[in-house]
Amino acid sequence: MKQESIEIQKLHHFVSGQRVPGTGNRFGDVYNPAFGVITRQVPLAGADEVRQAISVAEEAFPQWMATPVGRRAQLMFNFRDLVRAHIEELAELVSSEHGKTIEDAKGSITRGLEVVEFACGIPQLLKGEYSAGVASGVDSWGMRQPLGVCAGITPFNFPAMVPMWMFPLAIACGNTFVLKPSERDPSCPLRLAELMQEAGLPDGVLNVINGDREAVDALLDDERVQAISFVGSTPVGEYIYHRGTAHNKRVQALCGAKNHMVVMPDADMDQVTDAVLGAAYGSAGERCMAISVVVSVGDEPADRLIEQLIPRLDNLRVGPYTDPGTEMGPVINPAAKERIEGYIDKGVEEGAILVRDGRGIRVPGSENGCFVGATVFDHVTPDMCIYTDEIFGPVLGIVRVRSYDEAVQMISDNPYGNGTAIFTRDGDSAREFCDRVRIGMVGVNVPIPVPLAFHSFGGWKNSLFGDHAMHGPEGIRFYTRLKTITTRWPSGIKEGAVFNFKAGGEH
């Protein structure tokens, strides 16, 4: 596929139920990373365009808030069915702009649908609490009500799943929504918005604005936006958190990671090898829950893992998503490839042992593709940048420690706190690890401990800024606010005025 043979498609925004062309003169290039060619251009919205989308969402809010919760649930059922019916089309959009395999793209869409299915239960999820007779003739109850206009800022690595972690739940709770997807792969989020409209969503409830930092800042600064959800890198997430909260918004910013897998001497090495293959190299390592560090307790687990892993990597099929046999695709664009290969250079300079080198890989028929091969470093130490930095690519580092306690301390001391795992046959070690390690999501013989939609997703420390994790019960709390009502009706009993609080809840 040559660039001169590609007709570049112009993309759009989605506002008030219809496609809207950009009004400015700034555009971003969208690559097909499997072939290294530009296939689309996306308009980068200015602040005025963002404010217009917010106005549309604000205008739609009162009517949508008043929509019966059962009707909102039915719309989510409709949307779920439409996504299932269009999953081939959606997966093709994801793969053609991100590069991941078709099956990986389908899997990510399915994980997003789990949150949609959770949102289908919104009548149950929004049920309040009621207490009769809290005092003489007095009843109290609590209800959760929507915030208003909410916004989501989503990353390039999961252009279907992460938006579906946000807008379905926010909308089911009665909010309206402005989505700012990654400008690197915006086509799938735009298509999802069209499917929501087809499912019966009123105009203006869900709007999609493409853009870069100018669009992000406009969302952060506009007082009409009540809450911001973000998934992306830690520096950007911290910026969004501080700027958003400075404007009195709720912010949940899920950020970077450096996820460790502890391998105990008693671990099932076949299981460990399979886990590392999927967790380190799936989606070319471009996911915040990827395992990028194996912590070997003693030398034997590391030696056995390398012995079993390298032959598997030698047979790993790296190629474009158009090849059904492909197991690992490219990284997102040429800049990402250059950055990742720079980290491999740096790891060699710092003295780590390069067991398998993914630089300079050549894929026949995709010579211009953004491919980085599966890479393994051994004898990595915590002072090396390939340990400290989130590489976000198919690069695995193996750290050797002398004891279990040293492994736990190393993980707990890491400034990131997203996910971790331990592989062992010993229940006592596993239980103690879960209790002791200072990380938000923990797996036992599970390499990527992403919870299902009815639990909540979120890390600790520099992996999450804000008080609420994403989806599950935490998502409901984030997208609603509590209102508590206390009532008393005249009973004919004259008690006179009360000027002080009384014990036992009597007023």
d(CA 12, CA 273): 44
Return the pLDDT at 101.
Answer: 97
Helix (H) or strand (E) holding 151: strand 149-153
Return the pLDDT at 491.
Answer: 75
| Residue 293 DSSP symbol | E
| Residue 201 DSSP symbol | P
Return the pLDDT at 53.
Answer: 98
Is the pLDDT at 505 greater than 60? The verdict is: no
Return the pLDDT at 22.
Answer: 94
Helix (H) or strand (E) holding 107: helix 102-119
pTM of the shown model: 0.94
d(CA 319, CA 326): 5
Angle at the Cα of 496 from the Cα atoms of 494 and 498, rounded to 5 degrees: 135
Mean pLDDT of the chain: 95
Instruction: Give me the catalytic one of 255, 288, 385, 434.
Output: 288
Q: H helices of 120-181, where?
A: 122-125, 161-172
Is domain 45-255+463-484 in CATH 3.40.50.720, yes or no?
no
Is the pLDDT at 44 greater than 90? The verdict is: yes
C-alpha torsion sign, points 421, 450, 154, 173: negative
259-444 to CATH, choices 1.10.10.410, 3.40.190.10, 3.40.109.10, 3.40.309.10: 3.40.309.10
Quickly tell me which residue has 């420690």 as its tokens.
401
β pairing state of 375-378 and 149-153: unpaired
The answer to whether the CB of 99 falls within 8 A of the CB of 282 is no
What would the pLDDT profile of 463-485 be if each residue is shown by its tens digit? Answer: 999 999 999 999 999 999 999 99
Count other C-beta atoms under 10 Å from residue 342's C-beta: 13
The answer to whether the CB of 452 falls within 8 A of the CB of 114 is yes
Distance of CA 348 to the CA centre of its chain: 31
User: Could you give the percent of the chain with pLDDT greater than 70?
Assistant: 96
| Backbone phi, psi, residue 28, to 5° | -110, 145
Quickly state the pLDDT bin for 507 (edges 50, 70, 90): very low
d(CA 262, CA 305): 12
d(CA 250, CA 477): 11
State both tokens at 145: 């009500």
Question: Secondary structure of the chain: what % helix, strand, coil (to 5)?
Answer: 40, 25, 35
Helix (H) or strand (E) holding 102: helix 102-119
d(CA 181, CA 53): 14
d(CA 423, CA 265): 9
d(CA 269, CA 261): 13
* Backbone angle region of 360, left / alpha / beta, with phi > 0 → left and psi within -120 to 50 → alpha: left
Residues of the chain with CATH 3.40.309.10: 259-444
Quickly state the pLDDT bin for 6 (edges 50, 70, 90): confident
C-alpha torsion sign, points 215, 217, 220, 221: negative
- Burial group, residue 405, by CB count within 10 angstroms (0-12, 13-18, 19+): exposed
Is the pLDDT at 36 greater than 60? The verdict is: yes
d(CA 167, CA 116): 9
Quickly tell me which residue has 């870069």 as its tokens.
212
Q: Which of 191, 226, 222 is nearest to 61 (CA)?
A: 226
What would the pLDDT profile of 51-102 be if each residue is shown by its tens digit? Answer: 999 999 999 999 999 999 999 999 999 999 999 999 999 999 999 999 999 9
Quickly state the pLDDT bin for 340 (edges 50, 70, 90): very high
Residues of the chain with CATH 3.40.605.10: 45-255+463-484
Q: Give the residue-averaged pLDDT of 117-143.
A: 94
Q: Give the residue-averaged pLDDT of 118-129.
A: 96
State both tokens at 427: 């229940």
Catalytic residue flag (residue 188):
no
What would the pLDDT profile of 407-440 be if each residue is shown by its tens digit? Answer: 999 999 999 999 999 999 999 999 999 999 999 9
Return the pLDDT at 500.
Answer: 72
End-to-end CA distance of the chain: give it in Å, rounded.
Answer: 77
User: Could you give the percent of the chain with pLDDT greater than 90?
Assistant: 94
Distance of CA 110 to the CA centre of its chain: 14
